[in-house]
Amino acid sequence: MIAELRRRGWKIWIYTTSSRSPWYIRHWLLLHGIHVNGIINSERHRTTPGSRFIQRLPSKFPPAFGIDLHVDDSEGVEMEGQAYGFRVVQVDPHDLGWMHKVLNAVDTIRLG
């Protein structure tokens, strides 16, 4: 999935509510052969300059980091996307077609 997204010209970021350091997360992913362009953990999320204009910060706020599409398994994050105006594709990890759902969303953004 990540290789296909990269082939299509997308950058890959990890946005997590974890308090683990970006260094730890990056190296853990590298152990699994996954290369990412950036990592946003709970501290970076909480202290981002773009979020200071929002009274109640959502659990994730991709626009503050220039992220065009957020993929998450949480229905709550999808609802926050609707409320705060950012694109979210909610996937169910048990859905064998989740990758096609993401690629369709990516194609829609590129075409639209």
Residue in 21, 62, 64 with CA at minimum distance from that of residue 41: 21
Residue in 26, 86, 83, 57 with CA at minimum distance from that of residue 48: 57
- How distant is the alpha carbon of residue 62 from its chain centre? 7
Q: What are the pLDDT tens digits along the chain (112 aa)?
A: 899 999 999 999 999 999 999 999 999 999 999 999 999 999 999 888 766 666 678 999 999 999 999 999 999 999 999 999 999 999 998 999 999 999 999 999 876 6
68-77 tens-digit pLDDT: 999 999 999 9
Amino acid 95 reads D
pTM: 0.89
